[in-house]
Structure 1
Amino acid sequence: MSIEHHPDESLLTGYAAGTLDLGRHIAVATHLAACADCQKAVSLFTEVGGALFADLSPAPMGEGAFVALSAKLDTIAPPRASIAAPPSLPVAGLPAFVRRYNAGKWRMVAPGLSMRPIHLPVPSAARVFLLKSAPGAKLRHHTHAGTELTCVIEGGFSHDGGHFGPGDFDFGDSGINHQPTVDPGADCLCLVAMEGHLRLTGWLGALLTPLVRL
């Protein structure tokens, strides 16, 4: 597998530091499961972060800080408490940790395009879902109200940013206007973490956007 497209440095450092919301964390982790180069980068960022913390001078804790922290921890539910023990997403190519999340049913969101929501155990700014596109399908030109992190699981697609195959990572936001076209011959399956919604561009796109439930 030749992976050409990767998360940018801000996403990888955010993953290493644990500052990404759960949706984006899942998208980056899905890419990492297939990409040895990004695994090495995250490992390096983690080591650098640890070294920086080791060089910090100790600071005294405020009075009652431990009690306050203990009380806060008691109110936080374990992130994995709602993850099903047996795999509920028996989809080839998905990392094992993703297959253990509960998921909804497939539903059509546009001709040749279906999605299956993945239910997260804690609130997240980005929702996560599987997106399946028919061979040769061409999405309309669109941009995004927020960010869209896409990991290709099977098949592939192309747009102005290049060709994206299994393991590749694609980033979209309001500054990008593209028209993905799915490779012929097989479905394209992706894991997507999306904040906000897709916005079709052009006068026809403005009319059709309310009909695309994505």
Structure 2
Amino acid sequence: MRRPPAVGALVDLGRGLRRRSGTARAQLRPVLAGRGPHPQPGTEGPADGPVRLVAVCRDERAVLHNLMQLYRHDLSEFRDYELSERGTYAYDYLDLYLREPGREAWFVRVEERLAGFVLTRIRDDGVWQVSELFVARPYRRQGVGRVVLRLAFQSHPGRWACFVDDLNETSKRMCTDVATAATDGDYREQPGATSGAGFVGTGYELTVPEPARGPSEASS
């Protein structure tokens, strides 16, 4: 059976860390302070042509939850996700991405239409991570996933990481292509990496450069 093109098969390397202790939170504050404020709900994020990221509002939680169900269903082809008795897939971190500093939830919009989401977070070591990325089926095979991943990286120049299941060849190609373009090939792949939830795949580590300044900025 041919696998569907599950563009969003990026998963959280730190799933095992459900709650930070008070000490860990205190240690993380300087890291968060150096990364700037959390985006306000509804904030227009990075964009490229018709594809743009928009910060998720708390009152849009139900929309994000619905998209998460589609995403987890796609990933169930590669993972042993099971439906609850209510016919839904569990995701323990949804509310954290809507309220916790250092976590960001973005809707993906293509020509103003809802097309998916991307969740990012900053780890305790100061590395930003693409935790989840989902593009709805009508927008796949058009390069939208690649644009979204690149926009996520560009939202915070510096060190980034992501993880892809070994069976998800589509997303592995996407990550390789975007990481290569973002760093001129100067990135690190980690075959055989294990996620916090115990899934085996490929880890990616890269450093996204600051955007080049224009002549007027350079002279100011």
TM-score, with structure 2 as normaliser: 0.27
Larger Rg: 1
Higher RCO (CA-CA < 8 Å; seq separation 6+) = 2
TM-score, with structure 1 as normaliser: 0.28
